[in-house]
Amino acid sequence: MLNVGKIEEGFVLDHIKAGKSLSIYHHLQLDKLDCTVAIIKNARSSKMERKDIIKVECDVNMLNLDILGFIDHTITVNVIKDGKIVEKKQLSLPKEIKNVIRCKNPRCITSIEQGLPHIFVLTDPQKEVYRCKYCEEKCRQRW
């Protein structure tokens, strides 16, 4: 495998669906962080044919795992300290997400009310359905 430098403290996000790493990079707002980020695309995987990996060198409290859980809760989150994996976090679907996605329903109050947060609520955990808190419109595409 391609060799990317080891990180001392941070995260390795593994088993990202191939091709989706850049989108996650943006949703986690890693572009706004002043830290080392490595994105590996199309790595070979035993579990999935191809996968993406993101390595982030940062304080372990800096990542919003709710957003990650919302985007794809099958991603493996490895927490790294002193160059070693100290924890594998299980992601779950957050009950509510705020200002991650916008409601696209033009008839929704979020389209005109200023300063209103866009909130989506998990209404069906089995089918992984999120709905706008205000108009109940289904979120069609997670990311």
Planar angle of CA 28, 125, 86, nearest 5 degrees: 50
Q: Over 59-72, what HEC string results?
A: CCCCCCHHHHHHHC
Q: Which amino acid is at 40?
A: I
* DSSP helix/strand/coil, 32: helix
Contact 7, 57 (CB under 8 A): yes
The end-to-end CA distance of the chain, in Å, is: 28
Cβ closer to another protein: 81 or 102? 102
Cβ closer to another protein: 4 or 135? 135
Name which of Zn ion, another protein, none residue 116 binds, using a CB cut-off of 5 to 8 Å depending on partner kind: another protein
Region binding another protein by CB under 8 A among candidate stretches 26-34, 40-48, 58-66, 131-139: 131-139
Does the footprint of Zn ion cover residue 97 (CB under 5 A)? no
Does the footprint of another protein cover residue 62 (CB under 8 A)? no
Name which of another protein, Zn ion, none residue 140 binds, using a CB cut-off of 5 to 8 Å depending on partner kind: none
Does the footprint of Zn ion cover residue 132 (CB under 5 A)? yes
Contacts of 104 (CB under 8 A, 6+ apart): 137, 140
Name which of Zn ion, another protein, none residue 107 binds, using a CB cut-off of 5 to 8 Å depending on partner kind: another protein
- Residue 28 token pair: 């986690």
Name which of Zn ion, another protein, none residue 114 binds, using a CB cut-off of 5 to 8 Å depending on partner kind: another protein
Does the footprint of another protein cover residue 114 (CB under 8 A)? yes
